[in-house]
Amino acid sequence: MSYTGPEFEPPQTRRPRRGPMTVALAALVPGALLGWVVYEAVGGGNGASGRTASAASASPHSPYSASPPVRSASPDGSPGDDGKAAAGGGAGPLAGKVVVIDPGHNPGNFQHATEINRQVDIGTNKKECDTTGTSTNDGYTEARFTLDVAHRLRTLLEKQGATVKLTHDGDSPAWGPCVDERARFGNAAHADAAISIHADGSAEGDRGFHVILPGSVHAGAADTRNIVGPSRDLGTRVAGNFVRDTGEPPSNYVGKGTGLVTRTDLGGLNLSTVPKVFIECGNMRDSKDAALLTSGAWRQRAAQGISDGIVSFLRGS
């Protein structure tokens, strides 16, 4: 999600890899994780913010609250690679709950540079309506990734009985929606939880996921004061389950190893009146993360981790 210009950021040539080192990430997750798996990460690389990937970047105590997994996907990773298998809803532990999934960007944004570059009011300032997003060095786009994970997540949540709504479905609308419209979509749906799915576009060696929480904003049309607390609860549960289900570590370049980042510059959060978070599932510009993000099996685990976190939040368990 880091790219903010109106035009597509073309694939870049990979930089020479630095020597790997084994990093042991030890973090306790209340009620679920007893410890981190020893993880081989790309070491010695400076992140976009100048941080170095090292064991020191990981917090010794995780803030996550993970819940026992809710397994509703078949063992072979169904649905298929596009995640569009039909799923029922209306009966189950989430019956009566509404979840809004916001797939970051839109595959059609590339053909609508003028429209997505239009400035919209996000309360604190004005920003582009939307962007094209980033991609892996081999050209797998963030928009394609987010839509695939959104389809998989929808299937999982519907199997739990939730009513699930997507802000867009790739071809409808043809571009966008704008970031302010994405927020209003969740508000109009009276969503019990909303999540925006993304993947980052940082430098090689910058690895891991992070969940973005809304900060306290009260300016213009933005007032997040009532959702800051429940959104933090939602984000913490999503982060804890995501790391457990995917094995992806918290970001080594933002969040100081917690996997949680608070921001007040995102219209999709600023204008929300329902509990909402963003998740950056990994860094598309890092070769190790890219190998995961382009794997259908891993995307199914990513959807499962997000689903488990949302289920935990909505059930209060």
Active site residues: 280
Q: Which residue type does 36 have?
A: W
Question: 53 vs 23, 42, 50, 57, 286, CA distance in Å?
Answer: 9, 7, 10, 7, 13
**Residue 315 three-state SS:** helix
First-last CA distance in the chain: 31
Distance CA 32, CA 133 (A): 34
List Cβ neighbours of 251 (8 Å cut-off, separation of 6 or more). Answer: 206, 207, 208, 209, 210, 257, 259, 261, 280, 283
Contact 278, 196 (CB under 8 A): yes
Helix (H) or strand (E) holding 313: helix 296-315
Distance CA 88, CA 204 (A): 40
* CA of residue 122 relative to chain centroid, distance: 20
